[in-house]
């Protein structure tokens, strides 16, 4: 016979187990935020060779696979880019004619933020007065000036814009203006005007990971600001170097004229 006190204890334990929420798979105890190593200037050390592992270069939004275009999840917060109705038709025209219209196919500099998520690595180098980013694609270089150094007076129309940075805790925040209107965001034809304003955020989340975020503002094309976000991965090879990548437009022109080419196939 079960003792009365044991029966009461069983009832209490059973009731408590019913009231408690189920455990979350993979749940761990709360830990302190990642504390990155610091440079001699006391700022997070972001130096290294980095690269994305996604398909944003083909399309920032969700897209399916189609003849050489890999399927992928979108990187736009909220899922969709908020085009103005008057601007959406031009995006569709770009998508239909991108074999001829995409600036990448003409070997132009891809602009910001597009150069970050192209399938090529880039290297971050830090100095006291600036952060330099060296890109494998087209040997492009960006200088992000720090210490309150202001943007030059405009208007100026540059392919890569003008970058000025500041530190917010462990995050490098980069304000970029002075763009031309000749670059796109991806191969799907998403575009902007020369009024483009980009705010980038580089936040270390682990020894070999950065969270990259870019907020896009362009009142001539979009109804409101929108943000993309993605992880960046540090290359782990013993010799993680940048190599030569020289774009040749005449080779891409052969792709345009080849009916079996899959380079610019429209994703479904």
In a domain? residue 22? no
Q: Higher pLDDT residue, 226 or 268?
A: 226
In a domain? residue 189? yes
Residue 101, domain extent = 48-256
Q: Higher pLDDT residue, 163 or 16?
A: 163
**Looking at residues 21-39, what average pLDDT do you find?**
70
Predicted confidence at residue 238, as pLDDT, reads 87
Work out how many domains the chain is built from and give that number. Answer: 1
E-assigned strand segments in 62-190 = 122-126, 130-135, 141-145, 162-168, 171-177
In a domain? residue 4? no
Predicted confidence at residue 266, as pLDDT, reads 46
Predicted confidence at residue 28, as pLDDT, reads 44
pLDDT band at 40 (very low <50, low <70, confident <90, very high): very high
Lowest mean pLDDT among 11-25, 66-80, 91-105, 141-155: 11-25
In a domain? residue 150? yes
Residues with Cβ within 8 Å of residue 216, at least 6 apart in sequence: 113, 185, 192, 196, 197, 198, 222, 225, 226, 227, 228
Predicted confidence at residue 252, as pLDDT, reads 56
Predicted confidence at residue 75, as pLDDT, reads 98
In a domain? residue 142? yes
Average pLDDT, the chain: 87
């Amino acid at each position: 016979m079960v003792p009365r006190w044991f029966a009461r204890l069983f009832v209490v334990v059973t009731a408590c187990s019913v009231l408690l929420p189920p455990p979350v798979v993979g749940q761990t105890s709360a830990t302190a935020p990642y504390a990155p190593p610091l440079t001699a200037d006391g700022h997070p050390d972001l130096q290294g060779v980095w690269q994305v592992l996604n398909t944003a270069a083909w399309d920032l939004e969700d897209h399916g696979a189609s003849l050489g275009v890999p399927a992928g999840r979108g990187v736009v917060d909220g899922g969709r880019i908020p085009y103005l109705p008057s601007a959406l038709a031009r995006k569709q025209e770009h998508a239909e004619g991108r074999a001829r219209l995409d600036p990448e196919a003409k070997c132009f500099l891809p602009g910001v933020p597009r150069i970050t998520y192209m399938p090529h690595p880039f290297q971050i180098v830090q100095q006291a007065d600036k952060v330099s980013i060296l890109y494998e694609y087209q040997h492009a270089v960006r200088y992000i000036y720090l210490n309150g150094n202001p943007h030059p007076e405009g208007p100026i129309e540059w392919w890569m814009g003008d970058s000025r940075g500041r530190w917010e805790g462990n995050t490098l925040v980069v304000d970029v203006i002075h763009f031309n209107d000749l670059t796109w965001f991806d191969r799907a034809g998403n575009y902007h005007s020369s009024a483009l304003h980009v705010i980038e955020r580089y936040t270390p989340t682990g020894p070999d990971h950065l969270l990259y975020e870019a907020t896009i503002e362009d009142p001539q094309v979009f109804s409101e600001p929108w943000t993309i976000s993605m992880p960046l991965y540090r290359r782990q090879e013993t010799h993680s170097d940048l190599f030569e990548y020289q774009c040749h437009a005449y080779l891409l022109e052969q792709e345009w004229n080849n009916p079996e080419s899959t380079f610019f196939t429209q994703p479904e």
